Amino acid sequence: MKIFAMVLCVIAGSYGCANNSYNDGRKRIVYNAHGLKVITSFSDRKQQTISLLYGNALALQSAKTGIQDKGELFELVTFKQADNKYWYGSYINGAVQSIELITSYATDKNVIAFKYKILQGQVPGDADARIKSIISHRALLFP
């Protein structure tokens, strides 16, 4: 009987310590913005997504004033919506659906231009439309 109890404890202990790295898309994943600041956030109920627009200090200033400058870095991270189990009827960010990166630079004639890159996922629309959409967002300002 003691041997049976020991074997049962060993099996239960090894099963409890198993590493389960499966993510079914409902598990929240914390995104590392690598020092960028949050500019704004928005959601799309039809697509069931939540988006956060991050940026460096120049991008944040541009989002406040609407004036573009070289050296801006915008990063739009779109998450799938997940139910908030702690607050009925609300949503929180779930798995990362897409990551888009926009950087600004000055051309030979000192005109501000933008480079667009999709780092993860797929995004509808062409690059020019996405750039216009992303840089048109204004910064959230708290009093």
pLDDT digits over 57-106, tens only? 999 999 999 999 999 999 999 999 888 888 888 888 888 999 999 999 99
Percentage of the residues of the chain whose pLDDT score is greater than 90 = 55
pLDDT at 136: 93
Q: How far is CA 106 from CA 16, 89, 115, 140, in A?
A: 57, 46, 11, 27
pLDDT at 82: 85
Tokens of 93: 């960010």
Asked whether the predicted pLDDT for residue 12 surpasses 60, the reply is no
For range 119-130, the mean pLDDT: 92
Contact in structure between 99 and 66 (CB atoms under 8 Å) = no
pTM: predicted TM-score of the whole model, two decimal places? 0.76
Asked whether the predicted pLDDT for residue 133 surpasses 70, the reply is yes
Asked whether the predicted pLDDT for residue 42 surpasses 50, the reply is yes
Tens digit of each residue's pLDDT (9 = 90 or more) over 92-111: 888 899 999 999 999 988 89
